[in-house]
Amino acid sequence: MKTPQNRIILASQSPRRAALLREAGIPFEGVSPRFDEPSTENWQGSPAELAESFSYYKAASLAEDYPDRIILGADTVVALDNRIYGKPRDAADARRILSDLLGTTQDVITGVTLLHPATGRRMIRHDVTKVTMRLMTPDELDAYIAGGDWEGKAGAYGIQDTGDQFVTRVKGSWSNVVGLPIELVREMLGEFSGFGAQGSG
């Protein structure tokens, strides 16, 4: 049985990321990162670079507290024609985002960072999943906004919630769309330190 010292530190309080790690049998401890995501409006790089950068800053914000642990940071964005869509500010912003994304195929990108502060080791990668959404009727959009499932989700939808009724195709990692590409995380942990996280089934 893994001791607490063997558990990675997940720099997130996202229940979705926590659930994915638990389902994958990867031992972890969730801790809120001390990183407030800035506006992406003036970002000059690619969406993937932004997701990787934010994932690193989340992990690095906990480095002093957990120098001898492997810290996992992740950040998810949605991109359409290189335009970045993060978490909506409010219902009106969610409506704006969905109005842009509905009826399109967009990229869901999650940046993933592994950091071991004591040795300075770090690994930063990202995964991309293509998601195709159908159009919503005005009544469907109103009901979805009123339901609040857009809150706290990049692109204003959660495929694991009612948002999946508007998704017609997912090409790539499903867990990436939820918020953490487990396949990539396993690969990175295996390469990073021989952590060797084993699945639960």
CA dihedral for 172, 18, 84, 61, sign (positive or negative): negative
Place of tokens 């659930």: 19
pLDDT at 70 over 80: yes
- Compute φ and ψ for 58, nearest 5 degrees: -65, -45
Indicate the pLDDT class of residue 44, thresholds 50, 70 and 90: confident
> Residue 111 carries which side chain, given as an amino acid letter?
G
Range of the domain at 74: 4-193
What amino acid positions are annotated as catalytic residues? 75
pLDDT at 79: 95
Q: Is residue 102 assigned to a domain?
A: yes
Q: Give the tens place of pLDDT for each residue, 109-160.
A: 999 999 999 999 999 999 999 999 999 999 999 999 999 989 988 899 888 7
The per-residue b/e assignment along 105-134, b for 16 or more CB within 10 angstroms, e otherwise, is ebbbbbbbbbbbbeeeebbbbbbbbebebe
For 89-110, how does the pLDDT look when each residue is reduced to its tens digit (9 = 90+)?
A: 999 999 999 999 999 999 999 9
With respect to residue 77, please indicate whether it lies within any of the assigned structural domains. Answer: yes
Q: What is the pLDDT of residue 22?
A: 96
- Which tokens is 119 given? 């040795």
Q: Is 26 helix (H, G, I), strand (E, B) or coil?
A: coil
In a domain, 201, yes or no: no
CATH number of the domain residue 65 falls in? 3.90.950.10
Domain assignment present for residue 66? The answer is yes
Integer Cα distance of 136 and 144 in angstroms: 10
Looking at the domain assignment, is residue 188 inside a domain? yes
Q: What is the pTM of this model?
A: 0.88
Residue 9 lies in a domain: yes
How do residues 15-41 score in pLDDT, each as one tens digit?
A: 999 999 999 999 999 999 998 776 677
Residue 198 in domain: no
Q: Has residue 199 been placed in a domain?
A: no
Number of compact structural domains in the chain: 1
Phi-psi region of 26 (alpha: psi -120 to 50; beta: other; left: phi over 0): beta
Residue 163 binned pLDDT confidence (cut-offs 50, 70, 90): low
Specify the amino acid at residue 13. Q
CA-nearest of 117, 12, 9, 8 to 68 is 117
Q: For the chain, give the percent of residues with pLDDT over 90.
A: 74
pLDDT class for 198, splitting at 50, 70, 90? Answer: very low
